[in-house]
Structure 1
Amino acid sequence: MVLILGRRLNREDSGVRDSPAVKRKVFEVDPKNLSGHDDAYDFCSGGLHGEGILQAFNEFRDNRLFTDVVICVEGRQFHCHRAVLSACSSYFRAMFCNDHRESREMLVEINGILAEAMETFLQYVYTGRAKITTHNVQYLFETSSLFQIFPLRDACAKFLEEQLDPCNCLGIRRFADTHSLKQLASRCRTFTLQNFMEVAQHEEFLDLRKEELEEYIASDELTIGKEETVFEAAMRWVYHCTTDRKPMLKDLLQHVRLPLLHPNYFVQTVEGDQLIQVDPECYQLLHEARRYHVLGNEMMSPRTRPRRSTGFSEVIVVVGGCERVGGFNLPYTECYDPVTGEWKSLAKLPEFTKSEYAVCALRNDILVSGGRINSRDVWMYNSQLNLWIRVASLNKGRWRHKMGVLLGKVYAVGGYDGQCRLSSMECYDSFSNRWTEVAPMKEAVSSPATASCVGKLFVIGGGPDDYNCSDKVSGHHRSSSQYLVICSYIKMPKHSRQTERTHGGLRLRVYTEPAN
């Protein structure tokens, strides 16, 4: 039978009649399958063709057919095809295609890898598939990196990332750093920070280098329930090898936020630790924590900032106030978190009907004193309990006064008692819950401003009567109870002396009256 392929001719055009003795069979061709020519058809079998060839080559390898090189690893021989190895790996392409000794020899020995890893590697080269396990992943990664098979190397890295656990994340992080796997190293670091409490209980943690441990315990991203966890982890690491690690104690404790430890824990556990007691370099850190327990936010350092995971954050608290229309006093106490941008309601202010009271923050609590109604009452907001508690009353009832905090004590300054303005001041000690009279100001004022700085409490401005405002600034020094009157910026004497001093990172400019 003869197959004639071509266009179908019109009988009238051809002038040829069909003969009963000769029959022609014509294949119909779909116009959609024509590509550029009326009589051509592009055919593609897709990936099946390549897979078929690889399968055939793998069978050749198993049966040692057409193999032209033998790779020897740990004394074990693997019969392979140079063409297949060169097609998959630039390492072998450089070995076989250049004028190297291996390009002419039948037996090529490769050192530094395991025979098991080589077998899995060749399985991938000839089939495109490899079985990655926890047992072979490290060696298979190193082998694929050596032979520059990057898809297999990346698959090993992905497998390691999925196997992260508190017992192995530190070892995988070190492996990732060794092989410059930035994504895997970053994932290990994040996992360790998020699971630090569990990670610190495993043996890998005790093998950390000092720099590695410092990186973790210094991070604000460290996820912990309380700072005591960090201290215990650091001390466990030191005690694991006391002789070598004892000199590193101070450097580690600099990253532990000792001021945020519970006072009882600090006294009993931290100060009672034998290594800390005999290390004079730790005294400054201990002193800082003690001062913070007394002074609160007056004493700031990098170690007084809570970690994000603790749930503590610095907020702005709004107490009381009145409605815009009608002027009715409001009982609400609310706080604003600048980080999240959210407002949160706190416990309502007792006796909110009063007005013109004073408010200040003492450590992590809030005090409200005086006011037009019940002018001697003082309330303290306990932030841990979210509760207002009545504390010792003022000795002198007052409103339109101000409160300031100096070295852990609260000072109620000036104000009005309903008949006259006050020059008196009172000092509150939260530990004894008592108000004590201190030296009065030289001028009675109401509604002044107060600020503490360089160990002094400054009283600024205020009203000495109903018609004038004071331009004076009074400074109260707690230890001597003496006041310093300095000229305001408004009425500067022409020949006054100007001095500058630096304290706490702030540059202060103090103007004093010229000596007579």
Structure 2
Amino acid sequence: MFCNDHRESREMLVEINGILAEAMECFLQYVYTGKVKITTENVQYLFETSSLFQISVLRDACAKFLEEQLDPCNCLGIQRFADTHSLKTLFTKCKTFALQTFEDVSQHEEFLELDKDELIDYICSDELVIGKEEMVFEAVMRWVYRAVDLRRPLLHELLTHVRLPLLHPNYFVQTVEVDQLIQNSPECYQLLHEARRYHILGNEMMSPRTRPRRSTGYSEVIVVVGGCERVGGFNLPYTECYDPVTGEWKSLAKLPEFTKSEYAVCALRNDILVSGGRINSRDVWIYNSQLNIWIRVASLNKGRWRHKMAVLLGKVYVVGGYDGQSRLSSVECYDSFSNRWTEVAPLKEAVSSPAVTSCIGKLFVIGGGPDDNTCSDKVQSYDPETNSWLLRAAIPIAKRCITAVSLNNLIYVAGGLTKAVYCYDPVEDYWMHVQNTFSRQENCGMSVCNGKIYILGGRRENGEATDTVLCYDPATSIITGVAAMPRPVSYHGCVTIHRYNEKCFKL
């Protein structure tokens, strides 16, 4: 400005706008002495002045000073300042600090001054550190009530990021449902309905809001039950869980008195059922995930193996199978409250080793073996309201020893010694091929966890089991190998539950 041929070099008085006198004084002191005292009062304008004059050493010193001042009462303000001035490192540290101290941060004035998008950025995060989800709900409602007329229209959008299904049922009834704003917001009713259904049905009902935040000590894990390593090999008694986020495997209570094979496994609420098995077993066991123990419950009416189980609207259905002589059309329904199995309408076609899952309020039985030599391409759909079966669009390949899961009102099928993963839309009654796995396998495990589909183990064409874990993301249609199982296994059960981690996240 002064040493080159600029206009200012010819003027007696140069006016510099937008800088406080105090800031200019501190800045000049630094320029001439190389020293300046940075304080909470001057750091902001000293930073802005050093940025304007491109004195990077002083600018960085101010940013470092702000990092050291982070506190629940000021971190959001410093984060906004960092965002304005493109200080990526400071911004990241502020956000991490606010996520880890959210309970304290949400009590301060700065929290109530967040805009909607800034608030959503925090409450949608899996990394949010809280003791329980109730704290997120209360923080959101405090924010809304701060400027209720202005923020009332935003309530539904905000509550879609609060995990209402994970609130304690008593709290949900006594606090959430009676809130006047929520009662007068019809668009929130669907979120309330989802939470009520989850309180009744448990993990049968999955959505982004049913996934626990890791800081609460809970995580969504895949439990692998039993299986065997090879044809004619020993049946394994192991029950082990896999956490896809950490990649860790942990051992749970072993299957009791278990030398059977080709049994069926499913999750009921947050527990696990195992039924039947070779030869003609009627035994049914429940794994209590809270106590980590297995409990024997009412036996099946008809012994079977090579059958499948699925949960539909809070009840367990045992479907088809083999009794050593013929395939079974028999279907039994278990009510855990009465501890009773009752016969319901039989399958239209008796099959063993089909894929079975529930979706949009109905049960779907896909493929399977009607006899020793043939495979079925039929899709049989059960409606519990009418206690009747209908045939739907056939699967593109006739296979047995396949597995199915449902996610986002679609059904995904893998196995049957094919590489293909097929997807079925039960509303449109339409099948499509979505992806290939890396090798052919059958009798693999399949489970939905954290919004993705995992395919675990299975038997290859040579009869040997595999220990691979594949992850299919429906959002991108990409399949990747993510882990190895503790041992190769096939004919095993795979389910997803919420598990409490003894070593939960702590600051």
The 5 Å alignment of 1:458-469 reads 458-464=364-370
Q: Indicate yes or no: 2:289 matched with 1:397.
A: no
Select which of 98, 104, 117 maps to 2:23: 117
Select which of 100, 109, 113 maps to 2:7: 100
Q: Distance in 2 between matches of 1:485 and 1:206?
A: 55
Amino acid across the alignment from 2:63: A
Select which of 264, 271, 275 maps to 1:365: 271
* Kept after mapping to 2: 8 A contact 1:410/1:427: yes
Q: Provide closer, same or farther for how the CA distance between residues 211 and 449 of structure 1 changes in structure 2, counting only shifts above 3 A.
A: closer
Q: Indicate yes or no: 2:56 matched with 1:150.
A: yes
Amino acid across the alignment from 1:100: R
Aligned residues: 409
* Kept after mapping to 2: 8 A contact 1:415/1:421: yes
Q: Distance in 2 between matches of 1:336 and 1:440?
A: 35
Q: Distance in 1 between matches of 2:273 and 2:211?
A: 22
Query: Cα distance, 1:268 vs. partner?
Result: 2.5
Q: 1:22 aligns to what?
A: none
Q: Provide closer, same or farther for how the CA distance between residues 100 and 353 of structure 1 changes in structure 2, counting only shifts above 3 A.
A: same
Q: Distance in 2 between matches of 1:152 and 1:254?
A: 44
Q: SS of 1:158's equivalent?
A: helix
Q: SS of 2:150's equivalent?
A: helix
Q: 1:15 aligns to what?
A: none
Q: Distance in 2 between matches of 1:376 and 1:298?
A: 24
Query: Cα distance, 1:372 vs. partner?
Result: 4.2
Deviation digits for residues 340-373 of structure 1 (CA, Å, limit 9, x no counterpart)? 3332111111221333321112343321112347
Query: Cα distance, 1:127 vs. partner?
Result: 1.5
Q: SS of 2:30's equivalent?
A: helix
Q: Indicate yes or no: 2:199 matched with 1:293.
A: yes
Q: 2:238 aligns to what?
A: 332
* Kept after mapping to 2: 8 A contact 1:254/1:285: yes
TM-score of the superposed pair, with normalisation by structure 1: 0.70
Amino acid across the alignment from 2:316: V
Query: Cα distance, 1:98 vs. partner?
Result: 3.9
Deviation digits for residues 168-191 of structure 1 (CA, Å, limit 9, x no counterpart)? 101111222233333322321222
Deviation digits for residues 222-245 of structure 1 (CA, Å, limit 9, x no counterpart)? 223332221111012112232332
Name which one, 1 or 2, has greater alpha-carbon Rg.
1
Query: Cα distance, 1:283 vs. partner?
Result: 0.6
Select which of 153, 172, 181 maps to 2:87: 181
Q: SS of 2:256's equivalent?
A: coil
Q: Indicate yes or no: 2:387 matched with 1:481.
A: yes
Q: SS of 1:348's equivalent?
A: coil
* Kept after mapping to 1: 8 A contact 2:366/2:395: no
* Kept after mapping to 2: 8 A contact 1:117/1:143: yes
* Kept after mapping to 2: 8 A contact 1:370/1:377: yes
Which structure is higher in helix share?
1
The 5 Å alignment of 1:379-390 reads 379-390=285-296
Q: Distance in 2 between matches of 1:136 and 1:262?
A: 47
Select which of 157, 166, 169 maps to 1:263: 169
The 5 Å alignment of 1:84-483 reads 94-95=1-2, 97-100=4-7, 103-105=10-12, 110-322=16-228, 324=230, 327-372=233-278, 375-417=281-323, 421-464=327-370, 472-483=378-389
* Kept after mapping to 2: 8 A contact 1:353/1:373: no
Between 260-269 and 161-170, the greater mean CA deviation after superposition: 260-269
TM-score of the superposed pair, with normalisation by structure 2: 0.71
Q: Distance in 2 between matches of 1:196 and 1:267?
A: 25
Query: Cα distance, 1:125 vs. partner?
Result: 0.9
Q: SS of 1:404's equivalent?
A: strand
Deviation digits for residues 419-478 of structure 1 (CA, Å, limit 9, x no counterpart)? 765332111233444323211224444444323344332334445556665554432222
Q: SS of 1:315's equivalent?
A: strand
Query: Cα distance, 1:410 vs. partner?
Result: 1.3
Deviation digits for residues 82-116 of structure 1 (CA, Å, limit 9, x no counterpart)? xxxxxxxxxxxx156445357442x6555543343
Between 258-267 and 135-144, the greater mean CA deviation after superposition: 258-267
Deviation digits for residues 477-497 of structure 1 (CA, Å, limit 9, x no counterpart)? 2211111246856899xxxxx
Larger relative contact order, structure 1 or 2 (CA cutoff 8 Å, min sep 6): 2
Q: Which runs of 5+ in 1 are unaligned?
A: 1-93, 493-501
Which structure is higher in strand share?
2
* Kept after mapping to 1: 8 A contact 2:8/2:14: no
Q: Percent identity?
A: 77
* Kept after mapping to 1: 8 A contact 2:393/2:429: no
Q: Distance in 1 between matches of 2:179 and 2:129?
A: 25
Amino acid across the alignment from 1:283: Y
Q: Distance in 1 between matches of 2:396 and 2:8?
A: 91
Q: Provide closer, same or farther for how the CA distance between residues 114 and 234 of structure 1 changes in structure 2, counting only shifts above 3 A.
A: same
* Kept after mapping to 1: 8 A contact 2:72/2:104: yes
Deviation digits for residues 49-68 of structure 1 (CA, Å, limit 9, x no counterpart)? xxxxxxxxxxxxxxxxxxxx
Q: Distance in 1 between matches of 2:397 and 2:30?
A: 87
* Kept after mapping to 1: 8 A contact 2:367/2:395: no
* Kept after mapping to 2: 8 A contact 1:329/1:355: yes
Query: Cα distance, 1:159 vs. partner?
Result: 0.9
Q: Distance in 1 between matches of 2:315 and 2:251?
A: 28
Stretches (4+) displaced over 6 A: none
RMSD across aligned positions (CA): 3.2
